[in-house]
Amino acid sequence: MAQPATPQTIDPQSAADPVLSARPENRVWKKFRSHKSAMLGGFLVGFFILMALMAPILPIPDPVATDWGAVRKAPSAAHPFGTDEIGRDVLSRLVWGARASLMAGVVSVGIALLAGVPLGILAGYFGGWTDSVISRCTEALLAAPFLILAIALAAFLGPSLGNAMIAIGLSATPIFIRLTRGQVISVKAEDYVEGAHATGLPTHRILTRYIFPNILPPVLVQATLTIATAIIAEASLSFLGLGQQPPAPSWGSMLNTAKNFLSQAPWMALWPGIAIFLVVLGFNLLGDGLRDALDPREH
């Protein structure tokens, strides 16, 4: 084959397509914006977060103030969502309860990420006996159902919202260990990681600059979806009396008391139920949308 006579100059300027010249983050955002259900999820989540943040300044009664003159009243102008068995405003408890639920979801997933991602990276990157020890422990934890494990841990730690978060976080950790480990193993085999070795980068740099950013997208998606699971778990623990302690409001504990009055005061159960449903739906839609937006195959 004759070498085509080519000049010693270069690929002229930018071959970059103007449409593609956006940073990866921008393209993800653009794609996310066009995803209708993801936007709905984002809206729901945003709504509840806003509600939780604004609880102190909203014109609602004190969530723990009792009123013996208004016990188990049906929704009315004074109490739009009704009152509970000791005359507390259900709307107010719902708004304040969002704080417990969202906190529980975010903090427990935060705990799971902090514990799971580093362990997963260790197991996936170094392999060998490190991997064997971490993976066997992970599998042992995964053998127990998520909620049962959370209940057992919460019971062991003692009933409080903080302990419930720790229990839920630890129960969710194995999911993140396993996900991270798998991602690290696949990213580790990429040419650019071998390139990092060839460049002579120290291990900590390879981990922080090459492995971590490239495993992040699926971990973020999983985190969003796990927040939904964690919110349900917190509600379950509170329902069982292992989470938020009375009189502080939480959706789970509101359901717990409401179950005794289902026929007389169904609104006591209805509102927290709807709230849990909507926030969980929101996080799930958000997670699905993120997964689609971050999917590199469709870039």
Residues forming contacts to another protein in the complex (CB under 8 A) are 1-17, 20-21, 23-24, 190-192, 194-202, 205, 209-210, 213-214, 299
Q: Quote the tokens at residue 269.
A: 């159960």
Shortest CB 123 distance to another protein, Å: 21
Residue with tokens 């977060």: 49
Shortest CB 193 distance to another protein, Å: 8
Complex with another protein: residue 69 or 200, whichever CB lies closer? 200
Shortest CB 189 distance to another protein, Å: 10
In sequence order, what DSSP letters do the residues of 64-87 get, joined into one string? T---TTSTTPPS-SSSTT-B-TTS
Complex with another protein: residue 214 or 226, whichever CB lies closer? 214
Q: How many alpha carbons fall within 13 Å on the CB side of residue 41? A: 23
Shortest CB 24 distance to another protein, Å: 7
Shortest CB 265 distance to another protein, Å: 54
Q: How many alpha carbons fall within 13 Å on the CB side of residue 57? A: 4
Distance between CA 214 and CA 281 in Å, rounded?
Answer: 28
Distance between CA 91 and CA 59 in Å, rounded?
Answer: 11
Complex with another protein: residue 4 or 59, whichever CB lies closer? 4
Complex with another protein: residue 17 or 298, whichever CB lies closer? 17
- What are the backbone angles phi and psi of residue 110, rounded to the nearest 5°? -60, -45
Complex with another protein: residue 62 or 194, whichever CB lies closer? 194
